[in-house]
Amino acid sequence: MRTRNCWILVAFSLLGASPPLRSAPFDLEPNSSVAPEALSVMTYNVKGLPWPVAWGRDGALEAIGQRLGQLRSRGRQPHIVALQEAFTDEAKSIGRAAGYAHIVTGPAADTHDDGALSADDRRFAAAGSWIKGETQGKFVDSGLQILSDYPIVRMRRAAFPSYACAGYDCLANKGVLLVAVAVPGVRVPVEILTTHLNSRHASGVADDRSLYAYQRQVAFLRRFVAIYHDPASPLIMAGDFNMGPRAARRSVLLGSVRGLSNDRGRAVVRDGLSSCFTNPAGGIAQSADAKWILKRGRDWQFMSDGEHFVLNAMHAAIPFGRASGADMLSDHMGFSVDYRLNHS
């Protein structure tokens, strides 16, 4: 009998296990001393996948919360953390363990609104593969969380259309989570968005199929920002964009986000981590970890100015990297960017 467990066994055989990871000292730490018009933001895919897709992860997920808590004890924690793949209870406990006062989650497993499908969308959906997990429904939620030291004054979240996915990614109800945060010294809320876009190789399907899903998700993301982002607010989009080095994906994502502009015609999107390379006080010194993040091309922080506040990326840190013998505690590095908000 075809049961929901069948796809899990397939994914299990393809993905294999991850050994437990030890906790280790930090390399670079966020500069999170509370100063007016300053904000530090971390993005981190924590690999909080359910059994049997991954196992032995409880210790690593607990260590992530502990490490963030240790940063807090020294006043060095990021003010805001955007998590991806926080599917399990252990992953969802990171924020509480780390002492964050405000925690919101992305779309639940049963949240969806497909809207009208084009002819191409219908053909794409009709070609879905049961064995690749594309026709079995959503087993888990979006895996998105935002943790914040500052009050969250509004929140929007939405799942991608159920057909806009490819391969094993379809088993999670991926989508978008947007919050507005009251930052000390800033007259308008600062908006933080996180998302997790369709993988390529790990999806288990052909590149052209995963690319179609990726295009549809990016188009949805752009519409979501156009509808729900307040142009008065600075915007930081931090997440696992799964762009990678492939030209087709880079064209889709960068072409879309760079095409967004505010009502004064200023280009919205700059890359926070790369901006720290050109800032003499950036603190990153083009480290091996930072170069690996950029070369891999999956985890990004894109920043956009508000109507009266300009975002400047001042300093970057990678407390969940490999430097100085540290463990990533995931298959992604967790990095933070310190932003300064200046009146325009």
pLDDT, tens digit (0-9, with 9 covering 90-100), for 70-103: 999 999 999 999 999 999 999 999 999 999 999 9
Please report, for the domain that includes residue 241, its CATH number.
Answer: 3.60.10.10
Alpha helices in the chain (DSSP H): 4-15, 58-73, 89-92, 94-98, 119-126, 207-228, 247-259, 272-278, 288-296
Place of tokens 């530090």: 40
Is the per-residue pLDDT at 63 higher than 60? yes
Place of tokens 């210790």: 59
> If DSSP codes are grouped into helix, strand and coil, which group holds residue 338?
strand
* DSSP SS3 for 7: helix
Residue 52 has phi, psi (to 5 degrees) of: -100, 10
Average pLDDT over the chain, rounded to whole? 86
Q: How far apart are CA 149 and CA 131, in angstroms?
A: 42
Number of structural domains (the chain) is 1
How far, CA to CA in Å, does 269 sit from each of 45, 57, 229, 234?
Answer: 21, 34, 13, 11
User: Using one digit for the tens of pLDDT, what is the confidence trace for 142-168?
Assistant: 999 999 999 999 999 999 999 999 999
pLDDT at 343: 84
Phi, psi of 302 (to 5 degrees): -100, 135
Residue 239 contacts by C-beta under 8 Å, 6 or more apart in sequence? 43, 82, 84, 144, 193, 194, 195, 196, 197, 299, 300
Residue 134's domain spans which residues? 4-343
pTM assigned to the model = 0.88
Q: How far apart are CA 264 and CA 260, in angstroms?
A: 11
- Judge residue 309's burial from the number of C-beta atoms within 10 Å of its C-beta, 0-12 exposed, 13-18 middle, 19 or more buried: buried
For the chain, what is the largest distance between any 2 Cα atoms, rounded to a whole number of angstroms?
63
Give 80's strand partners: 41, 148
